[in-house]
Amino acid sequence: MMEIFKLIGATLILSGIIFQFFGIYGIVVHRNFFVNLSLSSLIDSAGLFAILIGLIFYNGLNMASLKIGFIILLMLLLNPLSNHILGRGAYLSNYHPQRRAKK
């Protein structure tokens, strides 16, 4: 039974890492500030969430899992707030990224 939890944990960790790599690639490709802000929010929320849940499955239930759960709770509360503050600050300061010319 423990091997199943380790396999689930390893799969979640690997999927979180792959999701973060694709998100970083998207940030490099897109030059718009607001698109990058949205991508960074998705990377933090989905990628790190999958990695941390995978660590909980991989380690089993112990004190470290409780600490990881607390980190997940803080991440889910503070990540959208910080991205909202950055986006709102850019919007209120009349930041307009350069628009690409249509081909």
CA separation for the pair 97, 100 (Å, rounded): 9
Residue 97, in any domain of the structure: no
Enclosing domain of residue 58 = 2-92
Q: What is the pLDDT of residues 51-96, one digit of tens each?
A: 999 999 999 889 999 999 999 999 989 998 999 999 899 889 888 7
Is 54 within 8 Å of 74 (Cβ atoms)?
Answer: no
Residue 40, in any domain of the structure: yes
Residue 27, in any domain of the structure: yes
Residue 102, in any domain of the structure: no
Residue 26, in any domain of the structure: yes
- Which structure tokens are listed for 83? 């991205």
Work out how many domains the chain is built from and give that number: 1
Q: What is the pLDDT of residues 8-36, one digit of tens each?
A: 999 999 999 999 999 899 889 988 888 88
Residue 33, in any domain of the structure: yes
Q: Which residue is it, tokens 């910080």?
A: 82
What secondary structure does DSSP assign to 45-95, as a single string?
IIIHHHHHHHHHHHH-SSHHHHHHHHHHHHHHHHHHHHHHHHHHHHHHTT-
Residue 36, in any domain of the structure: yes
Residue 77, in any domain of the structure: yes
DSSP state of 93: T
pTM: 0.82
